[in-house]
Chains A and B, each alone.
Chain A
Amino acid sequence: MNVLVPLPVVIPLLTAAVLTATSPLLSKRADDLAGIAAAAATTVVSTLLIVDSLDHDLVYWFGGWKPRSGIARGIAFDVEPLGAALAALAGALMTASFVFAWRYFDEVGTLFHVLMLVFLAALSGFALSGDLFNMFVFFELMSVCAFALVGYAIDHPAPLQGSINFAVTNTIGALLVLFGIGLVYGRTGALNLQQIGRALEGRGHDGLLIVAFALLLAGFLVKAGAVPFHFWLSDAYAVAPIPVCVVLSGVMSDLGLHAIGRIYWPAFSGVFAAQAGSVRGVLVGFGVITAIVGGTMAFFQRDLKRLLAFVTISQVGIFLVGLGLLTAGGLAGTTLYVLASGFLKGGLFLAVGILVRRAGDGDELRLRGKGRNAPMAGVVFLLGGLGLAGLPPFGIFPGSALIIHSAREIGYGWVPTTLVIATILSAGSMLRAGARIFLGWGDADDPSLSHEPRAAEEEPSEASGRASPPLLFLPAIALVLVGLGLAFTPGLAGRASDWAGRVENRPARGAEVLRGVVPHSTRTSSFEPGATPYLYGGISTAGAFGFALFGLYRRRLPVFLRRWPSRMTARPATVLKELHSGVVGDYVAWLTFGAAALGGVLALTVR
C-alpha cells in the first residue's frame, strides 16, 4: 500500500485542525503561510500520485481492511491518473487562491483558511474515493464548506441570498444522491463501486436500478450545474469571494460531473451495457442544452463574476457531452478539457478580482475603458479568452480534439458543431467584456444586458493609482499560462486515452481492486487529432472574436440587418432571463422537474 494515498486529504485536514486550535497564538500572516504550504504540499502529493498510478491503480484500504476472497470489507481510495489529476488541479487552484488572498483581503480571519483547507480535503477525497458512501461523505463535506465560503461576506445581503440558494438546492441534490445510494445498497449489499459492479454482473437491469441511477445522476448534476439544475450556480458564484470562485468554478462543478463517470463505469456499465446508447443519448442531450443555455446567458451578463458563472455552466455542458459519449476518448478529452479550463477560469476569476480590487467594481459597462490601469488583468483576459475559445494548439484544444474525434467515431457527428457554437457564445462574451473594459471599445450602454448590478460592496477594494502588487497578478498569470501550456505536455492526449481506457475496463479494474490482480502494463497509444479539430478550433476562435465584436457594436449595424433578429430573440431572451429569478423555491421546482424528466427519459429509453 502506498502511504501517499491518504495524504491529499490528511494534509489539509490536519493543517485546518491545527490552525483552528492555535490561531489565537499565531501572528497575522501565519494562517496565510500555513494555507499556502498545505495547499502546495497537497498539490505535490497529488501530482506524485498521478506518476505512481501511471501503470496501475493505487488501491488503499483504510485500517488495512483488505477484501477477503473478492469481497470488499473496508473503505478504499482507488487512485487512477485522471482522478489524481483532478485532485492536483484542486490543490493548485487552492494554492493560487491563497497566494492571491494574501494581498486581496484586508482582514479575513483564520476561519477562511480553515474552511478553504477543509474544502480542499473534501475535493481531494471525493476525487480519489472508490466507495459510494465515502463519495457521499466527501460530497457533503465539500458542499457545507462551500456554502459557508460563498456566504463568507456575511454582512451583505447578496452573499447571504446566494449562499442560501446554494445550500438549499445542493442539499436536495445530496438527498437525491443518498436515495440513490440507499437503493443501490439495498439491491447489491455493497458500497464499494467495483463490488457493486460485481454484484450486478450477469443480472438484468430493472426499474429499481434505473430509478437509483437516475437519482444519482440528478444529484451529481445539481452539483455540476447542468440545466435545469444550474440556477443556484450563477447566484452563488456571482457573490462568492474571488478566491473561493476560483476553486468553485475551476474544480467543484467539474468534480460533480466526473462523479458520474466514476460511478457509471465501475458500477453500472455492465448492467446497462446493452442500453449504453440510450444512456449516452440522455447525457449528451442534457449536455448540449446546458452548453447552449449557459453560453446564451453568458452573453446577457454585465456582472463579470456572473458572466464567468455562465461560462462555467456552458463548459459543464461541454463536459457532460464529452463524458456522456461513454467512450475512452470522451472521458480522456473531458478530463483534459477540465484541467485546462479549470486553470484558465481560475486565472480569469483572479483577473476580475484585480479589477474589483482596483476599481471597486465588477460591472462590465461601468468599467468601460477603466481597465487601462490594470494592464496585467487585461493580458490575463485576452490569454484566458483565447484559451477558452479553443485556439489550436493551446489551452482546451487537446481535450476538445479528443471529444470531437470520439463523437465522430461513434456517429455523433453533429455534436462538435453544437460544442463550437457554445464555445463561441461563452468565449465571445468573455472577450467582449475584456475588449470593453481594457480597450474601451463598444457602446457605453447596452440595454439587452441584464439590469445594472450594484457595486460589489462585499469585495474589498483599495484606492486606485498604485500599481497592482505582484502577489495579485502573479497567480493569475501563472494559472493562465499553465492552462494554456498544459496542451504541450508530450503525448498527453494519447496517455490520457489509455488511462481512460483503464477506467472503462470494468472487469480488469474490478479484479485489481477486489483481488489485487495487477494488470499488465498497458500499451502506450498516441493520438493524432488530424485536420478536423484544427478546423473546429480555428472556427471557434474566429467565431469568438466575431461574436465579441457583434456584442460590442451590435447596435451600429444597419437597421434592416438587426430589426428582425432582435424582434425574434427579444421574447425568448426575456423569458430566459426571468427564469433566473433568484427565488430558491423556483430553483427547487426546476430541480424537481429536471430530476423527473431525467428519470422519465431514462425509464422510457432504457428498456
Chain B
Amino acid sequence: MSYLPYALAVWIFLCGLYGVVTSRSLVHLVVCLAVAQSSTYVLLLSVGYVNGGGAPIFADVPKGTRAVDPVVQALTLTDVVVSVTVAGLLLALTIQAKKKARTTDPDELAAMHG
C-alpha cells in the first residue's frame, strides 16, 4: 500500500490550516476550513481502499468479489454532512458579522469585541 494518499491528506490538511491561521477574511477562512476538512475524506477513503475492488454493492455479484470498505465510505458521508453544516453556519455568522460589525476581518472583529 502506497503512503502517497496519507501524505496527500496531511498536505491538504496543513494547507487548509495555514489558510485558517493567516486568513484576513471570514469567507476565505471558511473556505480554508473546508479545504482542511476535505483532507479527512482522502484519508478515510484511502484507509478503505482495496486494489482492484469495486463499489461495495453486493447484489448480483458472485460471493468473494473484491470491494472497497463500505464503513469508511459511510464515515466520509457523515463527515461531508457535518462539514456542510459547519460551513453553512459559519457563513451565516459571517453575513451577520458583516451586517452588525461591518467587517469580515477576524482581527477587526476581535478588536470590536474588546
Which chain A residues have a beta carbon within 8 Å of chain B's beta carbons? 133, 136-137, 140, 143-144, 147-148, 151, 154-158, 160-164, 167-168, 171-172, 174-175, 178-179, 181-183, 185-186, 191, 235, 451, 453-454, 581-586, 588-589, 592
Contact partner, B109, options A164, A186, A586, Cβ 8 Å: A164
B79 touches A172 (CB 8 A): no
Q: Is the CB of A137 within 8 A of B109?
A: no
Residue in contact with B110 in the complex, picked from A148, A156, A582, CB distance below 8 Å: A582
The count of A-to-B residue pairs whose CB atoms sit within 8 angstroms is 123
Contact B40 A168 (CB under 8 A): no
Closest beta carbon of chain A to B7's beta carbon, Å:
13
Q: Which residue of B lies closest to A452 (CB)?
A: B114
Q: Which of A137, A154, A162, A164 contacts B78 (CB 8 A)?
A: A137
> Given B17, B78, B93, which contacts A588 in the complex, CB threshold below 8 Å?
B17
Cβ-based interface call for B26 (8 A): yes
> Cβ of B93 and Cβ of A151 under 8 Å apart?
yes
Binding site for A on B (CB under 8 A): 9, 13, 17, 20-23, 26, 29, 33, 36-37, 39-40, 43-44, 47, 71-72, 75, 78-79, 82-83, 85-86, 89-90, 93-94, 96-97, 100-101, 106-107, 109-114
- Complex-state Cα separation, A164 to B29, whole angstroms: 10
Closest chain B residue to A580, Cβ basis: B110
Interchain CB contact (< 8 A) of B106 among A179, A191, A583:
A583
Q: Which 5 pairs of residues, A with B, have the shortest CB-CB distance? A: A582-B110, A186-B47, A157-B101, A583-B110, A161-B113
- Identify the closest chain B residue to A190 (Cβ): B71
A451 adjacent to B100 (CB under 8 Å): no
Q: What's the minimum C-beta distance from B10 to chain A, rounded to whole angstroms?
A: 9
**A454→B75 contact, CB < 8 A:** no
CB within 8 A of B90: which of A136, A140, A156, A167? A167
Report the minimal beta-carbon distance from B66 to chain A, rounded to whole angstroms. 16
Closest to B113 in A: A161
Please judge, given known A-B contacts A179-B13, A185-B72, A451-B114, whether A160 and B93 are in contact too, CB under 8 Å.
yes
Which residues from chain A contact B100 at a C-beta distance below 8 Å? 154-157, 160
CB neighbours of A156 from chain B (8 A)? 100
On chain A, the residues within 8 Å of B96 by CB distance are 151, 154, 160
Partner of B13, one of A140, A175, A186: A175
A185 with B71: in contact, given A157-B97, A160-B96, A588-B21 (CB under 8 Å)?
yes
Q: Is the CB of B21 within 8 A of A592?
A: yes
* A160-B100, A172-B36, A178-B79 known; A585+B89 contact, CB < 8 A: no
Interface residue from B20, B79, B109, B114 paired with A454 (Cβ < 8 Å): B114
- Bound together, the chains give a CA A472 to CA B36 distance in angstroms of 44
A171 to B44, CA, bound (A): 17
Partner of A144, one of B21, B26, B85: B85
**Chain A nearest Cβ from B88, distance in angstroms:** 10
Q: Evaluate contact between A182 and B110: CB separation under 8 angstroms.
A: no
A144 lies within 8 A of B86 (CB): yes
* Contact across chains for A164 and B79 when beta carbons are under 8 A apart: no
Contact of B26 among A164, A171, A185, A588 (CB under 8 A): A164
Which B residue's beta carbon lies closest to that of A171? B86
**Seed contacts A144-B85, A164-B93; 10 additional CB < 8 Å A-B pairs:** A157-B113, A161-B109, A164-B106, A167-B93, A168-B20, A172-B17, A182-B43, A185-B75, A585-B29, A592-B17
**A164 and B89 alpha carbons, distance in the complex (Å):** 9
Contact A148 B22 (CB under 8 A): no
The contact sample of 25 A-B pairs, CB cut-off 8 A, is: A133-B78, A137-B78, A144-B82, A144-B89, A155-B100, A157-B100, A157-B101, A160-B109, A167-B90, A171-B37, A171-B83, A175-B40, A178-B79, A179-B9, A179-B40, A179-B43, A182-B72, A185-B71, A186-B47, A453-B114, A454-B114, A584-B20, A588-B17, A588-B21, A592-B17
Distance from B39 Cβ to chain A, minimum over Cβ atoms (Å): 8
Beta-carbon nearest neighbor of B94 in chain A: A164
Complex contacts, A144 vs chain B, CB 8 Å: 82, 85-86, 89
Which residues of chain A are near B17, meaning CB under 8 Å? 172, 588, 592
Beta-carbon contact of B40 and A584 below 8 Å? no
Chain B neighbourhood of A185, CB < 8 A: 47, 71-72, 75
Asked if B93 and A584 make an inter-chain contact with CB atoms under 8 angstroms apart, the answer reads no
State the CA gap A133–B78 with chains docked (Å).
10
CB atoms of B33 and A168 under 8 A apart: yes
Are the CB atoms of B72 and A147 closer together than 8 Å?
no
- Residues of chain B within 8 A (CB-CB) of A151 are 93, 96
Q: Is the CB of B112 within 8 A of A161?
A: yes
A147 to B91, CA, bound (A): 12
* A140 with B93, Cβ < 8 A, contacts A157-B101, A175-B36 known: no
Give the complex CA separation of A151 and B113 in angstroms: 13
Q: Is the CB of A585 within 8 A of B101?
A: no
The reply to whether B20 and A588 form a contact with Cβ atoms under 8 Å apart is yes
Question: Is the pair B21, A585 in contact by a Cβ cutoff of 8 Å?
Answer: yes
Known: A144-B82, A147-B89, A182-B44. A161 touches B36 (CB 8 A): no
**Which residues of chain B are near A586, meaning CB under 8 Å?**
21
Does A147 lie within 8 Å of B13, measured CB to CB? no
Structural contact, B21 and A148, CB atoms closer than 8 A: no
**Residues of the A chain whose Cβ atoms lie less than 8 Å from the Cβ of B22:** 585
Which residues does chain A contribute within 8 Å of B33, judged by CB atoms? 168, 171-172
Partner of A158, one of B75, B83, B113: B113
In the complex, the chain B residue whose C-beta lies closest to that of A155 is B100
Nearest opposing residue in chain A for B74, CB measure: A133
Among the interface residues B97, B100, B106, which one has the most CB atoms of the partner chain A within 10 A?
A: B106
Residue of B whose beta carbon sits closest to that of A235: B113
* A182 & B47 in contact (Cβ 8 Å cutoff): yes
Beyond A161-B109, A581-B110, whether A167 also contacts B89 by CB under 8 A is yes
Chain A nearest CB, measured from B100 CB (Å): 5
Known: A144-B86, A178-B40. Is A161-B47 also a contact (CB below 8 A)? no
Q: Are B101 and A160 in contact (CB under 8 A)?
A: yes
- Complexed CA–CA distance, A454 and B85 (Å): 31
Cα–Cα distance between A454 and B86 once the two chains are bound (Å): 29
Instruction: Compute how far the CA of A148 lies from the CA of B88 in the bound complex, rounded to whole angstroms.
Output: 11
Are the C-beta atoms of A157 and B112 separated by less than 8 Å? yes
In the bound assembly, the distance between CA atoms of A180 and B23 in angstroms comes to: 26
